[in-house]
Structure 1
Amino acid sequence: MLLAYHRMTASLAAHQCRFDELPQTAQDRIQQQVERALQMEQLVLSSPLAADVVIPDSLLQKSMASIKGRYEAETDFIADLTLNGLTQSGLEQALARELKADATLERVAWQVPHATEAEVRAWYDAHPERFSIGKTRDARHILITINEDIEENRREASLERINGVLKELDGTQERFAEAALRYSECPSALNGGTLGRVAKDTLYAELDQTLFAMDADTTSGILESEAGFHILYCEAIYPAQKASYEEAAPKIKAAIDKKRQTQAQKAFVASLLKDNNVERKVG
């Protein structure tokens, strides 16, 4: 059952299909990966660190429910298990082992000291280029979509509608927000069409080029993207700047901690391999 479970998950992750649907070369590659994964899982579970790790039944049942939730009916779930050479009890057993192995590796990570403020500050000072923020804009937009299956959203009809909206605008932020709430077909309409602080190259290219050429408190003409027709309003312009240490510190600390935790987990696995005289394979 353990082998069947790992075959199933590895095949889905790599090829989005069942193991038995793969060509022989792919099956051989998956089989090698599965054998290594099972070997590593067993080494982790046999380690002293895993001895008192207990997986709550509620967590196991939550994982089972998450898998079952991918199927429309219980019968579909059972049928797919059967096709993958699994039973419900076999799946539960495999999940319990996987959860315990993951929890053991998490223990390794928890034992790693967190980055100190001095280390975070040193990293910030050594990498100033990482914290440069380009020019940004506060912007709003109005969207009328194009959908040839809906009469009022066919291209000509949508263009006529967006032209009508443009005529109602008077250049003020207040009127633009009112029009966005009334006409826009973007979820941002509920907030007066606001897009918030926009960095360059985050919008559709057609919109991005126009927005970053606009002055503050100005309205664009009609623009077209693959989503439909737009009107932009540029509220404010912000020059390029450097993120402050206070802004960057949480992300730096998290990145340093994550890197150290990953290194510690790799070292833990390497020690298990060495202690058990297992050759480490790459790939």
Structure 2
Amino acid sequence: MHPETPEVLAYLELKIAESQFTSTPDQLAADKRAQVELLAKRQFLLEQKILASQEAQQVYLPDATLDEAFARIQNRYETPELFAQALSNSDLTPAGFKAALSQEMRIDAVLESISAQIEPVTRDAAEIYYYNHLERFQLPERRQASHLLITLDDDKPEADQRVYRKLCGLQEKIQQKPARFDKLVLRYSECPTAMNAGNLGLITPGILYEALDKALFTMQPGEVSTPLRSPMGYHLLRCDALHPATRQSFAEVSARIIELLTERQKSRLQKEWILSL
């Protein structure tokens, strides 16, 4: 076994544990740790095939590029000592980590060179995809909304009633003179949005708390709700504008479709090449 192999395996275990379990290998239960180790060994063998390929011999990774990538990762830690300690917890040294990182970057470069051989995605292909998947470009109904929030300091019923009555009073003032809403928001709202007239932006269904969401999507532009309860407190919600459900045009999404199809072609070509090794 090459002297660098154990640390390359440790590096792969670290990457897999983070992606599969959002954890580090040393924090995993024995069964999950064994699963990570098995996946790392399979990945290691595959990577050795890639690095032994003729295509890999054409790839050159400048030291400066590797040093820059290593420094970016190390700089996420307050000191080099803390970085080294974090690596040590996963059976890695800075030198071993750098060697494993170099191998990963070389493999990425090989796969990128393979995928560079794809034919460019045409506008016609993108348009065919668009019309075959129209449902993916449907935008739901959206509404522009603002609110006035008064929070609850505790769970006592009298506090709840006091805030509710206060919001009812503010609602009456707004009904008498709708233009008062912005001034009342600035004066009474306890949400940071108060500095921007309570603006919540463009809302799609399911974004707000349930009671607010249900109310908003039954309101008309300019309408102000009755006091609505949420875990934060009580709200007065105003519907500012209504944007009906619509479908994005091909012109709006063509670049995104071409990017998607290009990435799919790259992935397919890379997988085919790997299977041929």
Q: What's the TM-score once normalised by structure 2's chain length? A: 0.80
Equivalent in the alignment of 1:221: 226
Stretches of structure 2 lacking an aligned partner (at least 5 in a row): 1-6
Q: By how many angstroms is 1:134 displaced? A: 3.0
Does the 8 Å contact 1:171/1:217 carry over to 2? no
Q: Which amino acid aligns with 2:60?
A: V
Take 1:171 and 1:163, find their aligned partners in 2: how far apart are those partners?
13
Q: 1:57 aligns with which of 64, 69, 73?
A: 64
CA 1:12–1:246 in 2, change beyond 3 Å: closer, same or farther?
closer
Does the 8 Å contact 1:137/1:235 carry over to 2? yes
Take 2:184 and 2:217, find their aligned partners in 1: how far apart are those partners?
22
Q: By how many angstroms is 1:192 displaced? A: 2.6
Matched, 1:238 2:243: yes
Matched, 1:128 2:134: yes
- What do residues 141-181 of structure 1 show as CA deviations (whole Å, max 9, x unaligned)? 233344559xxxx8677657655654553577754334444
Q: Secondary structure at the match of 1:216?
A: coil
Equivalent in the alignment of 1:98: 104
Take 1:25 and 1:183, find their aligned partners in 2: how far apart are those partners?
55
Does the 8 Å contact 2:143/2:242 carry over to 1? yes
Q: By how many angstroms is 1:33 displaced? A: 0.7
Take 1:190 and 1:55, find their aligned partners in 2: how far apart are those partners?
51
23-32 vs 164-173, which deviates more? 164-173
State the number of aligned residues.
267
Does the 8 Å contact 2:145/2:202 carry over to 1? yes
Matched, 1:254 2:251: no
Matched, 1:198 2:203: yes
Equivalent in the alignment of 2:273: 268
Q: Which amino acid aligns with 2:142?
A: T
Q: By how many angstroms is 1:37 displaced? A: 1.2
Q: Identity of aligned pairs, percent?
A: 30
| Structure 1 stretches of 4+ moved >6 Å | none
Take 1:147 and 1:102, find their aligned partners in 2: how far apart are those partners?
54
Q: Which amino acid aligns with 1:144?
A: I
Does the 8 Å contact 2:147/2:199 carry over to 1? yes
Equivalent in the alignment of 2:4: none
- What do residues 118-149 of structure 1 show as CA deviations (whole Å, max 9, x unaligned)? 11111222233333333222222233344559
Equivalent in the alignment of 1:4: 10
Does the 8 Å contact 2:163/2:234 carry over to 1? yes
The alignment's C-alpha RMSD in Å is 3.1
Q: Secondary structure at the match of 1:219?
A: coil
Q: Which amino acid aligns with 1:57?
A: A
CA 1:202–1:114 in 2, change beyond 3 Å: closer, same or farther?
farther
Take 2:79 and 2:163, find their aligned partners in 1: how far apart are those partners?
41
Stretches of structure 1 lacking an aligned partner (at least 5 in a row): 273-283
CA 1:173–1:263 in 2, change beyond 3 Å: closer, same or farther?
farther
Take 2:262 and 2:176, find their aligned partners in 1: how far apart are those partners?
49
Equivalent in the alignment of 1:277: none
Matched, 1:76 2:82: yes
Q: By how many angstroms is 1:31 displaced? A: 1.8
Q: Secondary structure at the match of 2:276?
A: helix
Matched, 1:207 2:219: no
Does the 8 Å contact 1:142/1:180 carry over to 2? yes
TM alignment of 1:104-183, pairs within 5 A: 104-146=110-152, 148=154, 159=164, 162=167, 166=171, 169=174, 175-183=180-188
Q: What's the TM-score once normalised by structure 1's chain length? A: 0.78
CA 1:95–1:176 in 2, change beyond 3 Å: closer, same or farther?
farther
- What do residues 229-272 of structure 1 show as CA deviations (whole Å, max 9, x unaligned)? 22211122233322222223233222222222221221121122
